[in-house]
Amino acid sequence: MSRRLAFLFALYVCQGLPGGFLAVVLPVVLREQGLDLKTIGLASFLSAPWILKFLWAPLVDRFGWSRLGRHRSWLIPAQLGMLAVTLGLSAVRPQDDLMLVVLLFLVLNVFAATQDIAVDGWAVRLLQGEELGPANSAQVGGFKVGNLLGGGVLVGLLGTIGWAGDFWLMSALIGCVLMFVILTPEPPSPKPPPQKVLPLLWKSLRRQGLGFWGFLMFAKFGETFGGALTKPMLVDHDYTKEMIAWLDGLLGATAVIAGAVLAGALVRRRGWAWTLARCSVLQGLALIALGLLTPGSLPVAMFAPINMLEAASGGGVAVCVFALAMSRADASIGATDFTAMQVVYMAGAFLAAPLGGALGDAAGYLPVFCLSGAMAVTLGLVAPSVGRRFEERSDTLKM
C-alpha cells in the first residue's frame, strides 16, 4: 500500500471509531439507565452531523491556511477536537451524567463528519484515474475497520479495561492518526480557493443531470430496501444477540472489507461500471436467496455464506459508487461536491428503510427481499449503459 493510500485508510479508520462505539454501546448504556425504547431509538439522531455535513462543507473549500494546506487546515483541528472529546468521555461516566455523555457523542460526530469532508476534498483533488479504485477501497474498508474496532474490539475490552480505558485507547488511536496528518504535507493547490463556493456547486449539480442523481439514490435504495430487515429477520428466527453480532457484525463486516478491496482492484483494471454490474447482480441474487430462506427455519450454515456474499458485494457496490462520484466531482470544490453526492447516495437508505419495513409488516419478509434483490440486479444490468452515457456526457461538457 502506498503512503497516500495508507494515509487515507488511517483517516477513514479514525472516522469509523465513534460510529462503531455509538451503534453498539450507547443503546445498551441507555437501556441500563432505564430509558424506554422510543428514547433509545431517538439516539440515532446523534449521527445527524453525517447527514447535515453538506451545510458546512462549502466552508472547507472556501477557507484554509496556506501554510498548512486547505484541507489540513480542517483535518488537524477536527482531529484535535475528536481527541479532546474522547479524553473528556473517559472522565465522564454515563451513570453520573448521562446527558453530558450524549452531548459529547454529538460533538464527537460533528468533528468526525468535518474530518470526512476535508479528507474527501483532499482525495478528490489529488486522486485520478487508476488511483480511484484502491482509494475508494481504503475509504470503504477503512471506515468499516474503524466500525469494527469501535463496535467490536473496544466493546470486547469494556469489561476488562472499563469505560475510561476504552476511551483512553480510542484517544491513543486518534492521536496516532493525528501525528500521521501532521507529518504528511499537503501538496500546494494549483488554483486559489474559490471566492464563491455555492454558485460553483449549483453549476456542478446542474451539470451532472437528474439521471446521475437518480442513479446515486437508486444504488443505495435497492440494497437497503431489504437489507435493513436482516437483523429483525434474524430475531424473528430466534437468533440470539451474540449470534447476530457474530454473523452480521464480525463476519459481515469482514466480508464488506474483503469485497471493497477486491472491487478496488477491479475498478482499477476494468472500471467502475464493469465492476458495479458484477457486484450489484451478485448482491441482488444474495438478497433474493435470503428472501427465499425466510419462510423456513433459516439454518446458520445456509444464512452465513449468503449473508457474507451480500455484504461483500455491497462493499464492492459502495466502492464503485464512490469511484464514480469522485471521478465526476469538481476538484476546485471537491469537499462540497463530493459531500453532496455522498448525501444523495445515503438518502436512498433513509427512504428505503421505512418503506421496506412497512411492506415487511404488511406482506412479510419474502416479497421485500425479493423486490430489493430485483432492484439490485436491475442496477447491475443497467450499469454498463449508464456508465457509457455518463462518460459521453462528461466528454461533451469538456468540449
Residue-by-residue DSSP string for 239-258: --HHHHIIIIIIIHHHHHHH
DSSP 150: I
Domains (range + CATH), the chain? 1-193 (1.20.1250.20), 197-399 (1.20.1250.20)
Q: What is the pLDDT of residue 28?
A: 62
Burial 275-295 (b: 16+ CB within 10 A, else e): bbbbbbbbbbbbbbbbbebbe
- HEC per residue, 340-387: HHHHHHHHHHHHHHHHHHHHHHHHCHHHHHHHHHHHHHHHHHHHHHHH
R_g of the chain, CA atoms, integer Å: 21
Place of cell 430466534: 238
Distance CA 112, CA 196 (A): 25
Integer angstrom CA distances of residue 36 from 30, 39, 40, 42, 354 = 8, 5, 6, 10, 21
Distance CA 353, CA 212 (A): 22
Positions in the chain short of pLDDT 70: 1, 23-33, 35-44, 127-131, 189-193, 241-242, 245, 249, 392-399
Reported pTM: 0.80
Q: What is the pLDDT of residue 308?
A: 93
Q: What is the pLDDT of residue 42?
A: 59
DSSP 237: T
Phi and psi (nearest 5°) for 56?
-110, 5
Are 311 and 191 in contact, with CB atoms under 8 Å apart? Answer: no
Distance CA 319, CA 139 (A): 8
Q: What is the pLDDT of residue 190?
A: 62
Q: What is the pLDDT of residue 259?
A: 92
Distance CA 90, CA 106 (A): 15
